[in-house]
Chains A and B, each alone.
Chain A
Amino acid sequence: MINLTKVIEFKKFIESLSTEKQEKLTDFFVEVNRHLSLPSHFKEAIILDFENALLYYKKNNVGLDDALNLLNPEKLGGFYARPALLWYPLDDAAKIYPMNIKRNQMSIFRVSAYLKNNIVPELMQMALNFTIKRFPFMATTVKNGFFWHYLDTTKRRFKLKPEIHKPCMPINVAASGSQSFRLLYYKNRLSVEFFHVLTDGNGAIVFLNTLLAEYLRLLGNNIPCNDQVLDINDVINSQETENEFANIELKNTKAGGFGGSSALQLSGNIAHSNPSRILHFEMETDKLLEKSRASNTSLTAYLLAYIFVAAKYSTEAQKGNLNIQVPVNLRKFYNKKTLRNFVMFCKISNPIDSFDNIEEIIPEITKQLKEKSTLQAMEEMVQATIRLVRSLKYVPLFIKRPVAKLAYGFLGDKVFTCAFSNLGNVSLPVEMRPYIDKYDVVMGASSTNRVGCTCISFNNKTVLSLTKNTEDPSFEEKLAMLFKENGIAYNLEGSPVYES
């Protein structure tokens, strides 16, 4: 819907310019037009984005020449001018996700960055318009193949929207040319929610950082690139879009690591509509590292210990195992650059009656984490995944889909009490650091697990996020109590309890 006020405002802006500048502006929009070969409504929307950005610059006393320079249409590249020809088979880890979509549930996760100042939507939209071409596999829609789903390129204007709804709500990926991710802003927070078929946490952070860098450039800053901030005008490296599972040699070695018996679940009814609440414990990274080093363990294992103890106090069960799923980034083992999914997981398991406090459980978690996240352990899982995918490759999707749904229903999340994903430390170029306050990651809702935990660190701030799927507050209360007892100061932020 075109905002008439903005159109009138832009008209007045043009009228206020000298003839020379008006000509400059006309030439600029001719150039913009040359880069857009889209259906008219998308084309008009992108032109409007340019107009809104120009109006923003004008209001902020940026000269027209500088503004036109910042919004150089060359940054659109050929993305919007070329037909949608590219397509991508799903990576092996993603193949299950589209088969398991339900009306109110799909595998979504979200990464957010908190800037020091509020987001300027006009410029953020332009940053997205410029950045998307660098991530062609994200400019896609999920489609049905005869044997597998795949990602089909969609050429459109990708939207930035204000955040109104709950985090990680299902994305409508069914419509023709629909987006498989959503970009949202709320005050100083920019969030990207991805359907997991596109990427994993690692790829998501790279996308978010690249987008933020471009946004900061549009604000007039000089931001260089690094491993986690890609050059949007660079040629796309084919390794980035690769399904790296397909490049791993199938060996005759041991394969396994999936399945297992059901794990204990936290008490409390699953809320009718999930997530029921999002919570973020913001802590000092240095303090956490100091504590974890004192316990001879890693930060991941240290936080896992808290999660285990909090989980123990949040269930009424007396016997059984608490199993926590910990995703493991395979890039570090295989030296790959892919931005698609390239993670497996390990299961950290402890009988509920085997520990009472953090100190007791840390050595066991450390040991398990060390053993189960080795190259050999991951190799077993990767081999199992590859074997499964290859053995099913000629089975038509209409058979695979209901079977996968059924199997996932029987096993799925039931094998785990919860998941804990640590995305590690975000490394940004020095020039970018002053503008970003912190990050957080939010896991999508689960139909079985009452909580999902994630963690990310930046700027000496580690944010442990909880996705609550039950209104029972015992888990977070115990966690808060444990942090206090152990002298770890925290700020607790989050959402209201959502009505179910």
Chain B
Amino acid sequence: MKVDITYPTPPKKSRVLEIIFEVIKWLFIASVIIAPITNIFIGKQIWSLLVVWPIYVIWTSIVNRDSVEYNRISQSSKLLIHICILLIIVNFVFSFNWGGFVIPLVYLSMLITINVFFLTNITKQRQNIMPLMWLIAISILAFSSSMIGWPKLNWPMVVLGCVSFVILFVCIIILKNDLLVEFKKKFHVN
């Protein structure tokens, strides 16, 4: 069958990365299965959580990246949540009691960084504002909850709450009606 070739020959694509990802995938799957089973047999703390969670974080951040909305605000917000969950796990597994102090501080520093990402390129990032809004909502919720008594109210939590309110206020001032439009987009149901 004679075919007139009317398409260019594409450049050769290296499959190295693909193979690496495939190997990582199976290593991860094996670890996610083996770690909890070993943990069950050995007993003691639930250390397998410390294996499974970072694997999940690496998986969703590097190997199987977001196919929609992969920008600096969304990714750093995701990273922040992942780090905080990891800190909660460490704090819980090893029965430390610095979590209530360290986590708000980590959250605060990342929140400020993400806000800087937003403020340094408002024109472009205004359409990516929602992850920041979610983070603000979470911190305000945590702050309000600690006012009632859980988690314990301490100065990092107070600072986090205050900074969150300030960032929210700044966003409202800058975006005005556009912020409402962003909410409308995000929560449309039709």
Contact = CB atoms under 8 A, between A and B. Distances in A.
A2 interface: no
Nearest to B2: A492
Given A143-B68, A496-B7, A89 B190 contact: yes
A166 B10 contact: yes
A103 interface: yes
Contacts of B67: 98, 101-103, 106, 173-174
A101 B3 contact: no
A148 B10 contact: no
B176 interface: no
Interface string B47-74: 0000000000000000011111111100
Give the most central of B4, B5, B67, B188: most A CB within 10 Å.
Answer: B67
Given A163-B8, A393-B190, A495-B5, A174 B70 contact: yes
Interface in A178-207: 186-187, 189
A103 B186 contact: no
Contacts of A273: 13
A464 B71 CA distance: 40
Given A149-B68, A152-B127, A173-B68, A394 B189 contact: yes
A279 B7 CA distance: 10
Contacts of B181: 85, 87
A144 B2 CA distance: 46
B188 A148 contact: yes
A476 interface: yes
A186 B68 contact: no
B11 interface: yes
Given A101-B68, A148-B189, A496-B7, A480 B127 contact: no
A164 B189 contact: no
A164 B67 CA distance: 23
A399 interface: no
Interface string B101-123: 00000000000000000000001
A476 B2 CA distance: 11
Interface in B150-190: 178, 181, 185-190
B124 A176 contact: yes
A87 B190 CA distance: 13
Nearest to A153: B127
Interface residues of B, number: 35
A145 B187 contact: yes
Interface in A465-481: 473, 476-477, 480
A420 B7 CA distance: 22
Given A279-B3, A473-B1, A477-B1, A174 B190 contact: no
Nearest to A170: B67
A444 B187 CA distance: 31
A377 to B, nearest CB: 25
A39 B7 contact: no
Nearest to B7: A495
Given A150-B188, A164-B8, A173-B68, 4 more contacts: A39-B124, A146-B186, A166-B10, A176-B124
Interface of B: 1-13, 64-72, 123-125, 127-128, 178, 181, 185-190
19 contacts: A89-B188, A106-B67, A143-B69, A147-B187, A152-B127, A163-B8, A166-B10, A167-B7, A174-B70, A177-B124, A243-B190, A278-B7, A279-B3, A476-B1, A477-B1, A493-B4, A494-B6, A494-B7, A498-B10
Interface of A: 39, 83-85, 87, 89, 98, 101-103, 106, 142-150, 152, 163-167, 173-177, 186-187, 189, 243, 246, 273, 278-280, 393-394, 473, 476-477, 480, 491-496, 498-499
